[in-house]
Amino acid sequence: MTGRSHECDFPEEVRRLPACTEPQIDPTASSGGIDRQVKARLQRALSIYHIDIAKLRSLQPDVVLTQAQCEVCAVSLPEVERAVAEWTGFSTQVVSLSPQRLIDLWSNVATVAEALGVSECGRTLVKQLKGRVADVIVKTAPLKRRPSVACIEWLDPLMAAGNWVPELVELAGGLNLFGEAGKHSPWLNWEAVQEHDPEILVAMPCGFDLERTRQELPLLSNRPDWAKLRAVKNRRVYCVDGNQYFNRPGPRLVESLEILAEMFHPEMFQFGHRGKGWCEAP
């Protein structure tokens, strides 16, 4: 591996590699501020990210991994294709991933492994990941009583979690209230949250770590009748590290499943993610 995006930070050693991208918005702004910046750039047909083409070209990569899943979350496929279109003298393979559900993770791992010439390693990893998922399903499948769950992917304005998250909720033994498996995250109004009155509420803002999510939680807790929600009254509001887990459709989606299982059914699961991948809301 010779280079990375500005967001690539796992495993820890990749931080030493040169970053070939940077955001064109201020990621330290408030949730509402980030939303306004993103919408303003998209309305003007401007990219949210900048690719350092000279740096990328100097690295002469054999393979460039990118995505076509969300133009807001990371550099888009067309931008990467334009960046390498004028290169001459060496061949670079652009591998684009567009996962929508958990099952896509298995094929994505195989695709990347094949592109890197380690297909057997890819098959081994997929087998291990599927085994961990199966370990959770064996315990949750027989459950007759499942708590209702609201997963919030953005706090201002409100957005429910979609794509693979509704599926993870169901596999972890919950009843997902908002968002549909395999479809992009939908906007959400507060009245719908009040009407469905979830037993469990999980804050997982896209791109935020655990501490940032805790800091932003008042955007929810200051809303009308917050204290009347069942999740609040029963102290079942949780914050998660969405940036490292739920928002990244890689192998750690399996850890995301384990995090949800720990939260939903602590009497059945103890994976050790508490305090690192998730915590109770303050």
**200 within 8 A of 176, measured Cβ to Cβ:** no
Asked whether residue 53 carries a pLDDT value surpassing 90, the answer given is no
User: What confidence tier does 88 reach under pLDDT thresholds 50, 70, 90?
Assistant: low
Quick: pLDDT tens for 215-253: 999 999 999 999 999 999 999 999 999 999 999 999 999
Provide the pLDDT for residue 43: 84
Provide the pLDDT for residue 256: 98
**Measured distance CA(153)–CA(247) in Å, rounded:** 9
Assign a CATH topology to domain 127-280.
Rossmann fold (3.40.50)
**Measured distance CA(172)–CA(169) in Å, rounded:** 5
Chain-centroid distance, C-alpha 67: 13
**Measured distance CA(249)–CA(102) in Å, rounded:** 8
Provide the pLDDT for residue 66: 87
Quick: pLDDT tens for 143-162: 999 999 999 999 999 999 99
User: Where do you find CATH 3.40.50.1980 in the chain?
Assistant: 127-280
Quick: pLDDT tens for 167-223: 999 999 999 999 999 999 999 999 999 999 999 999 999 999 999 999 999 999 999
> Which residues of the chain form beta strands (DSSP E)?
21-23, 49-51, 63-67, 93-97, 148-155, 158-160, 175-176, 200-203, 237-240, 278-280
